[in-house]
Structure 1
Amino acid sequence: MPERDDHSLHPTRRRAISRIVFGILLALASALFILVIRPFVMPALLAAITAGVFFPLRNRLRSLFGDRKSPTAVVVLLLVVLIVVIPVSGLVYLTIENVLRLAHTVGTWGPDVHKVLESVVTFGQQLGIVPQGEPSTLLSRDSVLKALQQYSTGIAGRISHFLSNTLRTGLMVVVYLYSLFFFLRDGDEILTNFLDFIPLDREQKDSILSHFISVSRATIKSTIVMGIIQGVVAGVGFYVAGLKSPLLWGILTGLLAALPNFGPILIWLPAGVLLAASGHTGPALVILLGVGGLMGASDYLLRPRIIGDDIRMHDLLVFLGIFGGVALFGLPGILIGPIIMAVFVQIWTIFRLMYESDYRAANAMSPGASPEPDE
């Protein structure tokens, strides 16, 4: 009979040590995985959102292709390139061109800007919030011109830095398209495997997923469709009013259209007020009444019809999600921020329902609780 090894570990202790070692290896592998994919998280996340939006179209096309995954994914990918990638690239090019043109001419705005600021100072003196005195002495024309020149130089420098990262931008586009192809082809399997790691009931997982897809669709509808409508309205209005670079201001208005009832005001209201303060009454009326009126009408009449039955969030959550997303992720945060807010709200809603269910179950099992009658 073999002697017992006193130094051998008890199976329970050996299992505990194995789990600790495996936990360390799991944490190390996960940390390395995050470090590897960190530079490409943003294009991959945008690809996942795009795939979720185009899933209904993919399912219809798949039935036409005899349930062949790869050809269907290629066709949808080409449609995304034509509908999304090429227009966005052209929009970025036009924006950069107009910003550079604006940066080169902003230094010549000294007299006009100084005149507007003098009008603002005079108005402030009438209200008693600005010290009395000659506006020209309170506001130096040379200081205004110097500030404008510094501002234009800063803009040109930032654009040059952006253009120098063309290789990195091209790599991100390639990662986005490559990820989008596989999300379109294998999205169902990827989603199923991902949801298997979430320790929730199937009903709760489906609730989070449907909320995510619905809010993604509503956010993209609100951002893209309303952005195009309000951007065109603003650009035409600024052109009619005679403002410089109406295309650029139209693009900025379209980007801010993701903020319902608030975003475009940040563009057209200051423009109208400055035109009125500088004595340009006609253009000011075009901006304040024409552009402002059409913006309000589109927000209250068109936006609900465009979003349709997709889930809506409170405007405050949309506001915080967009600005927080932009601060954290850059320009893609306009889409990602509200989606994160929506998922956050839905998860806490599920937690509240779970807590209420457990609370009712605990009360039902307490000694003083009366049993529910049998049906």
Structure 2
Amino acid sequence: MNTPQLQRLVFLLLLAGVTLAFLWVLAPFFGAVFWAMALALLFNPLYQRLRRRLKGRANLAALLTLLLSLVIVILPMIMIGASLIDDATSFVQRMRAGEINLRSYFQQIVAALPGWLTDWLGRLGVFNLESLIDKLSSGLLQGSQLLATRALAIGQNTFQFLLQFAVMLYLLFFLLRDGVPLSRLVRDSVPLARSHTQYLLNKFATVVRATIKGNVVVAIVQGILGSLAFWALGIKGAVFWGVVMAILSLLPAVGAALVWAPVAIYLLATGSIWQGVALALWGVLVIGLSDNVLRPILVGKDTKLPDYIVLISTIGGMSLFGINGFVIGPTIAAMFMACWALFRHDDRQRSPDAQGGEPDVPPSADDEH
């Protein structure tokens, strides 16, 4: 009964069991582990340069890279988050006080329309949107209350937040210092062809790096451009709406327009013609163009994913994993396509009438770097 096949099966079951148990243990620190890995991939080129300049002193290079990541990424994100929470709390209070009333804004737009247009839209049933406006207003209020509640929960669980933050920084230091040996260990341990493992690891690193770098840059640019436009037009809460546009810009093509387009329509309908035209032109020609120019360069060029795949995978990832999903979703999509590309390449290689030449997806490390 104690055959080599049985021993192998039992060992594989044991390996799967302890792996799942280890992942279960790490589950409470999922966010900390995930962002430590993502930031390590993002800042690894900087770490390698510092290590060469410091003549191989890995600990010092990792520490300097960690400090730079704090200054460049982590601390600014914490400050922006704190500002967003403060503005969201103010937004909730203004909605409760009746200072912000979407139904009133909608009625102002309708009252400003010409009579013939009002009659035509009435026959189309457009004015039945008032119930939808009420639901949207209620949803915005609930969303802002949820954000404020989450902020209060973070404040009440300061110890847990600090623990997650400390774990992330701790892991980031060691992943920077030992990332290359760890990737080699994974490559040598995974029961796949070495070329396939190397290709998939390179694809994973490239997609994570490009997604974070590209999406964050696009979000910052669109948030700043939108906030400047709102500030110039005297719209209250310019910083808050700029941050909202930055977050929504994680959705390709449609993101920031969900904020500036309704505001431009409202300005046009209520008689502020030049302000509405200026905001619409700024949104289309500047904010929209920045997305169309920057995103393909920073995201699509490296991930080699079509825009519609990026959009769908981003929305799906964020619905499943929250804010982490804007990285996880496209990464899963890219790995899915990479695995099928490798499968297709291997299938062609095994085909008796396979033609010579370069494969569609070369499974070597040199393809990515």
TM range (shorter): 0.7 to 0.9
Deviations 1:146-195 (A, max 9, x none): 99877765554444334333332222211211111111011011111112
Does structure 2 conserve the Cα–Cα contact (< 8 Å) formed by 1:110 and 1:148? no
1:200 aligns with 2:189: no
Q: Where do residues 154-169 of structure 1 align in structure 2 (5 Å cutoff)?
A: 156-169=148-161
Give 2:152's aligned amino acid. S
Structure 1 equivalent of residue 340 of structure 2: 348
CA contact 2:348–2:354 (8 Å) conserved in 1: no
Q: Which stretch of structure 1 is more off in the superposition, 94-103 or 109-118?
A: 109-118
TM-score (norm 1): 0.81
- 1:70-128 per-residue CA deviation (whole Å, 9 max, x = no partner) reads 11111111111111111111111111111111111122346853332224566665321
Partners of 1:14 and 1:251 in 2: how far apart?
63
Q: 1:253 aligns with which of 213, 234, 245?
A: 245
Q: Distance in 1 between matches of 2:215 and 2:323?
A: 12
Correspondence for 2:362: none
Aligned position for 1:31: 20
Once the two structures are TM-superposed, the CA of residue 291 in structure 1 deviates from its matched residue by: 2.9
Say which of 102, 105, 126 aligns to 2:120. 126
* Partner of residue 64, structure 2: 75
State the 1:304 CA deviation: 4.5
Aligned mates of 2:234, 2:334 — CA distance in 1: 41
Tell whether the 8 Å contact from 2:47 to 2:62 is kept in structure 1 after alignment: yes
The residue aligned with 1:64 is 53
Task: Tell me if 1:90 matches 2:79.
Answer: yes
1:276-320 Cα offsets, whole Å, 9 max, x none, are 334433332232112332112223344455569534311111111
User: In the alignment, is residue 51 of structure 1 matched against residue 51 of structure 2?
Assistant: no
Distance in 1 separating the partners of 2:193 and 2:278: 56
Contact map agreement 1:208 1:346 (CA 8 A) in 2: yes
Q: Distance in 2 between matches of 1:251 and 1:174?
A: 26
Q: What CA distance in whole angstroms lies between the structure 1 residues aligned with 2:349 and 2:304? A: 26
Cα gap change, 1:252 to 1:110, in 2 (>3 Å): closer
Q: Give the C-alpha shift of residue 246 in structure 1.
A: 1.0
Unaligned stretches of 5+ in structure 1?
1-8, 364-375
Answer yes or no: is the 8 Å Cα contact 2:89–2:145 preserved in 1.
no
Relative distance call for 1:273 and 1:166 in structure 2 (3 A) is farther
Say whether 1:243 aligns with 2:243.
Answer: no
Which region of structure 1 is more displaced relative to structure 2, 269-278 or 246-255? 269-278
Moved over 6 A (4+): 141-152
Q: 2:40·2:175 contact (CA, 8 Å) conserved in 1?
A: yes
Q: From the superposition, tell whether residues 117 and 202 of structure 1 become closer, same or farther in structure 2 (CA, over 3 Å).
A: same
> Counterpart in 1 of 2:319?
327
Alignment partners' CA distance in 2, 1:255 and 1:233: 13
Is 2:331 the partner of 1:339? yes
Contact 2:214–2:294 (Cα < 8 Å) also in 1: no
1:40 aligns with 2:29: yes
Aligned: 1:283 with 2:275: yes
Conserved in 2, the CA contact under 8 Å of 1:215 and 1:310?
yes
Letter of the 1:197 partner, please give it: S
Q: Is the 8 A contact 1:241 1:284 kept in 2?
A: no
Please give the alpha-carbon distance, in whole angstroms, between the structure 2 residues aligned to 1:90 and 1:178.
21
Q: Which stretches in structure 2 are left out of the alignment for 5+ residues? A: 112-116, 356-369
CA contact (8 A) 2:249 2:256 kept: yes
SS at match of 2:97: helix
CA distance in 1, matches of 2:36, 2:144: 35
TM-aligned CA distance change 1:32 to 1:272, over 3 Å: same
Identity of aligned residues (%): 30
SS of 1:200's equivalent? coil
Report the Cα distance in structure 2 between the residues aligned to 1:334 and 1:151, rounded to whole angstroms. Answer: 19
- Offset from partner CA, 1:22-73 (integer Å, 9 cap, x none): 3443333223212101112232122112111212111111112221221111
- Match of 1:258, SS state, is coil
Q: 1:344 to 1:115 in 2, by over 3 A?
A: same
Q: Distance in 2 between matches of 1:125 and 1:151?
A: 34
The TM-score with structure 2 as length reference comes to 0.83
Partner amino acid, structure 1, of 2:17: L
| 1:5 alignment counterpart | none
Map Cα deviations across residues 235-278 of structure 1 (whole Å, 9 max, x no partner): 01112222221111111211222333322112211222233334
Q: Supply the distance in 1 between the matched residues of 2:244 and 2:202 (Cα, whole angstroms).
A: 31
